[in-house]
Amino acid sequence: MAAPIDASKGGRKLKFQTVEELSACLNEYFEFCDNRSKEIPSKDGGVTLIKHPAPYTMSGLARRLGISRDTLCNYHNRELFSDTVKAARDRVQEDIENRLMETPNQSGAIFNLKNNFGWKDKTETDLTSGGEKLGIEVEFINGKDSKS
């Protein structure tokens, strides 16, 4: 078991004092999402429960932990909790990526990956002329007449 945080070093007392305590709550969130079910009306007038896992989200994770999303990010910046929070973030990111590949409407997943995980659109421009790359010549002048 990891040593608890020393509150004498200043700042607000952390909600989670050990990695084990944080990990247990993180696992509760993932179990909750994985085990969510949905009621489907059946033809005979009854109801059938089917497994309907909830998507993992950083906001949902923070809310389940009883802290803000910013506070969760701050736990990531603490050496003691960094690996634990990174593993949870990676699990959320993997879930979003998987859902991105399974759905025709991908804009929500793309938005989430850009805003929570630093994904970026990348555009490359190849400047060519007649099949040959264009060269650019740059001359730096240090505030003096270039002829001197």
Report the 10 Å Cβ neighbour count for 68. Answer: 12
Using CA atoms, how far apart are residues 89 and 126, in angstroms rounded to an integer?
Answer: 35
pLDDT at 136: 67
The confidence band for 146, taking pLDDT boundaries of 50, 70 and 90, is: very low
Phi, psi of 129 (to 5 degrees): -140, 115
pLDDT at 112: 79
User: Do the Cβ atoms of 102 and 70 come closer than 8 Å?
Assistant: no
Mean pLDDT of 107-127: 81
| Percentage of the chain modeled with pLDDT above 90 | 48
Using CA atoms, how far apart are residues 126 and 102, in angstroms rounded to an integer?
Answer: 33
Please write the tens of the pLDDT for every residue from 30-55: 999 999 999 999 888 899 999 999 99
